Chains A and B, each alone.
Chain A
């Protein structure tokens, strides 16, 4: 997922009306870090949130263990939890694309009438993709969903899909029918260096230039990532234009702190950056390893 062109991707905080975004997640944390901010940003402002789900509000990303008054939000209709049966299933329990499109149109219109400046819609579609014929049914309705959201000046949608369960081939087909890919917000961005957590494989994406004045930020986020998972950590450096020698030293230091047998992989190294590493020799960077090649599949 990490070698898709940058312009297709959008951090969740930059989502805007008309966006019909797709979130392919490989990990519950990744889902929560996109859907959570998406939902909370709507509720924190004058926007309506429509969540199509059979789960109770208290267990949804962004709403569990939050300080919001969920009962009040529901009664004021700012938070709309629609069951799948209400939103998109026939009486017999089969998925009905036309009903989903009608639901979206209706919710958007009523939000407008209720005075909300925008409406945010989200649904986890993994259940549909894992049903027989579900993928075709879902693809057939994407056009109508797109028509309900894209031209709108007030609607935004995020389709959630668990890539581990639906498979990369189905996810690929789905990706083509969405104009925007959702991703987690950067953890650090000073205009020179951007640090963002990635999930497939797990680690950080570094973009821009890494030098001495930014070592402490990389260190902080790398240590956090290492603390939250056991095993290997991947750094996607496809868009890292520069790393200083102290930066290599820093990465080697942290690699040495990984649990026994773990390694720090540098994925999609650019030739200019790799040149410095080849010069000093990978053997001088213990437990730092070359990972996936540019353009290749993540390992």
Chain B
């Protein structure tokens, strides 16, 4: 190992800002050349707490360099990156738990071949949100991207979601970097909302949502969503419907259909959500008393939430796997 750690980005005098860098590597030796000095730098700094989350195949080869490092510091990425909104919450808890030490993370997101472009985009959004959610922390994150196997689209996401890039031990500013709000808006624009060929519809007229919960619960059961997933869907749909009744414009209704392996449920109303932002419900609120707590919780409860706030109404589409 001869490579030296990548030079730190120029930081403002005094407080260290969030460092979020994409590390583009090609093959195991190239990976270790940068990853080993990075981990060592963190282990040697008493003010930092090292967290290594990398793909299973890279975990052992890297760990061999640090036999004395605490066991819990090395985690397989496959178990950490399961749900973007939940992972972001867990990551934030981790950063808070380690305070006043700052987190020094080697964090390799998982990109699965079987994912739809849409699912891949949600994880790219997650990478982008890191810049927003951790901006006030002194965390340092180096995110490995394997250029030998990852498609160009994902590498392009890496350049757009990290302000800094590391390649061959060289640290450069990413000219393609896009601020999180803008990136998230781009993700939202790329979405499609096909109308389902067949669906069930329940108009929500009164303020008592008891009937709606039963309606959703029965259909979840019928379509193979059970137990906790069904309960979570009911809680999510109930919340969105309660918001539509409170802030939206009638008619309010719920549409439900199946889409391959997923059950989809959409709550719509005729109102225009004027102050909707592409980051709404993505940034974890401090407490339940903060605005945005409801939609953030809805995003935690189901697999995917799509909010469409347009001139023709507000539609919140929730998806769970069957």
Contacts and interface: CB of A to CB of B under 8 A. Distances in A.
In the A-B complex, the 8 residue pairs with the smallest Cβ-Cβ separation, listed nearest first, are A252-B288, A212-B242, A245-B239, A213-B207, A249-B288, A245-B297, A213-B208, A284-B287
Interface in A2-48: none
Most buried by A among B93, B293, B300: B293
Interface in B197-254: 207-210, 213, 228, 231-232, 234-235, 238-239, 242, 245-246
B239 A286 contact: no
Interface in A229-258: 242, 244-246, 248-249, 252-253, 256
Contacts of A209: 210, 213
A281 B89 contact: yes
Interface stretch (A89-97, A131-139, A164-172, A271-279): A271-279
A192 interface: yes
Contacts of B232: 275-276
Interface in B290-317: 293-294, 296-298, 300-301
Contacts of A248: 288
Contacts of B293: 245, 249, 280, 284
B244 to A, nearest CB: 11
B5 interface: no
Nearest to B239: A245
Q: Is the interface of B mostly helix, strand, loop or mixed?
A: helix
A235 B293 CA distance: 22
B289 A249 contact: yes
Given A245-B297, A279-B297, 6 more contacts: A192-B210, A209-B210, A211-B238, A275-B232, A276-B235, A276-B301
Interface residues of B, number: 30
Given A211-B242, A246-B239, A285-B288, A272 B231 contact: yes
Most buried by A among B242, B287, B288, B293: B288
Interface in A92-112: none
A248 to B, nearest CB: 6
Contact of B300 (A192, A279, A285, A286): A279
Contacts of A244: 209, 235, 238-239, 242
Q: Is the interface of A mostly helix, strand, loop or mixed?
A: helix
Given A249-B294, A279-B301, A212 B207 contact: yes
Interface in A189-220: 192, 209, 211-213
Interface of A: 192, 209, 211-213, 242, 244-246, 248-249, 252-253, 256, 272, 275-276, 279-281, 283-286
B239 A284 contact: no
A280 B238 contact: no
B231 A275 contact: yes
B206 to A, nearest CB: 8
B195 interface: no
B286 to A, nearest CB: 7
Contacts of B242: 211-212, 244, 246
B37 interface: no
Contact of A280 (B213, B231, B246, B297): B297
Interface in B258-293: 285-289, 293
